[in-house]
Amino acid sequence: MSNHEKMVLTGNQGIARGFYEAGGLLAASYPGSPTVEILDSIKDYEEVYAEFSTSEKVAFEVAIGGSFAGVRSMASMKHVGVNIAADPLMSFTQTKTNGGFVLLTGEDPGMASSQNEQDNRILGKFANMGIVAPGDSQEAIDYTKAAFDLSEEYHLPMMVNITSRVCHSRTPVVLGERKEVEPRVFEKDVERYCMIPPHTHPLQHSMKDRIDKLKEFAYDSELNTFEEGEDKDTLIVTSGLLYHNLKELDLNLSIYKLGMVYPLSPKRLQELSQKFKRIIVIEELMPVIETEIKMMGIECEGKKYFSFTGELHTEDIEEGLKKAGVITERTTTDRAPVDSVKRTPLFCAGCPHRPIFDILKKLRKRVIGDIGCYSMAMFEPFQASDSIISMGATVGITKGMTKANALTGKSEPLVSVIGDGTMFHSGLPGFVNLLHQENETDNMTFIVLDNRTTAMTGGQATAASGNYTSADDMHVDIKTFIQAIGHENVVEVDQFDYEATKKVITEETNKPGISFIIAKRPCALKFKIQENTFYVNPNVCIGCRNCIKTNCPPIRMKKYHNIDKLKSSIDPSMCAGCSVCAQVCPVDAIQPKGQHPDHSKKGSAKYKRQEYQKMKLNNEDQNEDPK
């Protein structure tokens, strides 16, 4: 991309471009929507070192190291990722930054792809950071550059707070030139870099001083703009994308648009409050700006007119302004719900997780789940996950439930399911903790779904991905790793060998103690399966729907010519050839393409069909009312 060229970029690409133009040299991240594309975009710049770290905490610490060493550094993550990085964050903000430091956090109002919609502006204030909030891709570039400048001028880490709508929407931008920033020297200074009480006491005052200076900067900063409209009674205070949504209403209101949402300038807001009879704050999620203004002793309103949850679209803003009496009539109508077919989220064709959850459902095990694409196991038809809280939480929760059950006289084998990426992210401390007060009567089985990628966010590498492709440079062997911790009972399975895997899970869950099962099949999206596809012989199929219940996308029931009953079918364009459907078919109706079964032999379709019918008849006999 040449300088001064006009382009259309997403907000994520804008952040990456801003980092590049600001002279950024080191970037680290952990993949998570809505910010995962930022690091992917940064990797396109050869001058920069960029990595997906094993967790947000590690990514944040890598970026701290870059800042210590005197280069402009950035850590990017989704909003809940900041919770993982909170420990080093809360200490690091006490230090006076050397190289400029930016924490990029992506909010998700409405929870399009997240477990909550926490407002990280509160965390930014809690950590004594300055916060800027871009509302489009150009601002994503400009505010990121400004954040690095402010970080170095005021010696504090800055937060760039962006929402999922801005991350993924595209707006035109003008590219600027890269600013080469001379690396600063890291000099030994224990009072500055060693955060222990003798040093941290004065730093509490230092942090307050930095924020106070930033308030003075905010007074006439170009990041904050005032637009005087015809309405002289009401001042609207807003920021980010909501400014653009408000402008779509063309109301000619007076607007104070905040580019820097923390800290605010009390002096500027006092001046503005003298000019207007009322101030209305429009912001998504928590009333952060509204509360800040009220704490200055300035009357304002906001959340009582606007939703406390979800995104605020143009229609929502207009409705809120009508409730507030700012306007009397609406020009927009509420969005009508789109009439669409309801679909349950599906595992991908050829997904190696499917047979695991099919087995767990049939075994009727209590399953504690975790965060990943396998979270979909909670939906129909599997409904094989009883708990999902946060990354890596399944391990500790499983232990806690087991210990609580023992104390209350209950006995229930528990199964914990965790992906390889999540395990490396935050599951390993829990694995170590299992050794603490281990009891031989505890019955816990931990299934590691080792698909060698973080599939849910687009296939970024995990610490084990290098075993499949030389493009990934970490080759951690999970079985060796778990055994090295001290767990002896570790079994590896190929889950596409359905019966063998079912046998192992049955055995391990039925015996006391701690068991680990590593299900080793690669992600069907990242590592394409090169197997023969399967087809259904409708003359053999009995319509039992066992194959349908495996939740595989290519399989559906359909009407065949000259056959009255609906029979199973497989879309060959989607079939990945994993064979799981063929293995659960009781009558051998599903075969690899080009293979014709010999029905005369034991194990053939004809034989299995006869056995299935016998079994069905026996079950019906047993279920007959003895009366």
Which amino acid is it at 598?
D
Q: Is 578 annotated as a binding residue?
A: yes
Q: Is 611 exposed, middle or buried (0-12, 13-18, 19+ CB in 10 A)?
A: middle
Alpha helices in 298-366 (DSSP H): 314-323, 353-363
In degrees to the nearest 10, what's the CA dihedral of 184, 188, 191, 193?
60
- The Cα 464–Cα 471 span in angstroms is 12
Residue 256 parent element (H or E): strand 254-258
Q: Is 351 annotated as a binding residue?
A: no
Please, are residues 500 and 494 in contact by the beta-carbon 8 Å criterion? yes
- The Cα 269–Cα 577 span in angstroms is 65
Query: Which residues lie below 8 Å from residue 74, measured CB to CB, with a gap of 6+?
Result: 19, 24, 26, 27, 28, 63, 101, 102, 103, 104, 144
Query: Which residues lie below 8 Å from residue 33, measured CB to CB, with a gap of 6+?
Result: 78, 106, 108, 112, 113, 114, 164, 457
Q: Is 194 annotated as a binding residue?
A: no
Hey, is 254 helix, strand or coil?
strand
- The Cα 449–Cα 352 span in angstroms is 8
Query: Which residues lie below 8 Å from residue 350, measured CB to CB, with a gap of 6+?
Result: 524, 529, 575, 576, 577, 578
For helices 498-510 and 353-363, the axis angle rounded to 10 degrees is 50
Q: Is 544 annotated as a binding residue?
A: yes
- The Cα 515–Cα 505 span in angstroms is 10
**What does 402-430 look like in DSSP terms, one character per residue?**
HHHHHHTT----EEEEEEHHHIIIIIHHH
Q: Enumerate the known binding-site residues.
A: 541, 544, 547, 552, 575, 578, 581, 585
Q: Enumerate the known binding-site residues for [4Fe-4S] cluster.
A: 541, 544, 547, 552, 575, 578, 581, 585
